[in-house]
Amino acid sequence: MKKLGAALAAVGLMAVALTGCSAGGAGGGGGDKVITVGFAQTGSESGWRAANTQSMKEAFSSKNGFKLIFNAADNKPENQIAAVHSFINQGVDAIVIAAVVTTGWDDVLKEAKDANIPVILEDRTIDADPSLYASWIGDDFKKEGETAGSWAAKTVGSTPTNMVVLEGTTGSAPAIDRAKGFSSSIGGTSITTLDSQTGNFTRADGKTVMEGFLQKYGKKINLLFAQNDDMGLGALDAIKSAGLTPGQDIKIVTIDGTKDGLTALSNGEFNYVVECNPLLGEQVASVVKDVIDGKKVEKAYTAKDLAFDQAAAKEALPTRKY
């Protein structure tokens, strides 16, 4: 255990190092013209999102030479498209999007292109033609799902296990890719999916949907895969109210690695948590500057993510940033 903890901590040093990134923070360098950036954020559904928003606001600060126009779309695709339209009309220098869903982007991105406004994606990927955006900075959701699934396969995969799944926002890149990754890792094991429904990445819906699962399947459920910490945390309430012990009667694996998630893990209520790094702001700001300065940027920058068992969570918590 100690050894695993140390190894995980060592990898932890790489947590914020993004592959292929250019050096330096967002500040300085580009003359004194203020860069106006419209940021279309998904909403405020989770602890991960709160950390991501804070990271973006810090990086796109006036101190760093930016004027940030922030919009949170309440996880409604139509709100988000409207926000991007409004950024185009305001003539911003660049647009950053954390897309609620993967589809429906072509028209508005073509408009941005016609207006010569570069678009940079952060966090979530989209299905649009890659020529319509300059770059993407985010996490590897498929790999996160694979890591969560591998843990499940290794831990409970050799005995008959009934799983329920709390999915993220329907049509969002992390919900789609985490599901794919997880499925690929549990193929050929004795894990059966009893049910899988969206909990919209929120605690409230995680709780409600888990209540429904418990009413329907009761003690049959042995495993919960929650596609983010918040839904898993909401589910804890439902599981306890049903007189069951989370982490024991029902094993729980989640994704994100927020302080609250790792606390539940170190308390033994969760069993495994895969990290998804939300602290992308500095990297996004640096790419935005490079794009505006006409420098060549990579099409994709992928953050490195860790994974935690209970011992590793205890070790990580005191210095956890989000």
User: Which of 121, 223, 276, 316: binder of ligand GYE (CB under 6 A)?
Assistant: 276
Residue 69 burial (CB count, 10 A): 17
**124 interacts with ligand GYE by CB under 6 A:** yes
Please state, in angstroms and as integers, the Cα–Cα distance from residue 176 to each residue in 74, 135, 170, 179, 211, following that order: 20, 20, 8, 5, 23
Q: Total binding residues for ligand GYE by CB under 6 A?
A: 14
User: Which of 12, 41, 48, 306: binder of ligand GYE (CB under 6 A)?
Assistant: 48
**206 interacts with ligand GYE by CB under 6 A:** no
Smallest separation (angstroms) from ligand GYE to the CB of 176? 11
Judged by CB, which is closer to ligand GYE: 228, or 310? 228
**182 interacts with ligand GYE by CB under 6 A:** no
Task: Specify the stretch interacting with ligand GYE by CB under 6 A; choose among 14-22, 41-49, 157-165, 205-213.
Answer: 41-49
Strands across the sheet containing 300-303: 66-72, 35-41, 94-97, 119-122, 135-139, 300-303
Spell out the residues 6+ positions from residue 287 whose beta carbon is closer than 8 angstroms to its own: 22, 120, 134, 135, 137, 297, 301
Smallest separation (angstroms) from ligand GYE to the CB of 98? 7
- How far, in Å, CA of 33 to CA of 319, rounded? 37
**46 interacts with ligand GYE by CB under 6 A:** yes
Judged by CB, which is closer to ligand GYE: 65, or 206? 206
Smallest separation (angstroms) from ligand GYE to the CB of 252? 15
Smallest separation (angstroms) from ligand GYE to the CB of 174? 4
> Is residue 187 within 8 Å of residue 140, measured between CB atoms?
no
Smallest separation (angstroms) from ligand GYE to the CB of 295? 27
DSSP state of 34: P
- How far, in Å, CA of 119 to CA of 97, rounded? 7
Tokens of 187: 């193929």
**201 interacts with ligand GYE by CB under 6 A:** yes
Smallest separation (angstroms) from ligand GYE to the CB of 20? 20
Element (H, E) at 196: strand 191-198
**234 interacts with ligand GYE by CB under 6 A:** no
**147 interacts with ligand GYE by CB under 6 A:** no
Tokens of 100: 């609620």
> Is residue 316 within 8 Å of residue 285, measured between CB atoms?
no
Which residues of this chain interact with ligand GYE, rule CB under 6 A? Answer: 45-46, 48-49, 123-124, 139, 174, 201, 228, 230, 255-256, 276
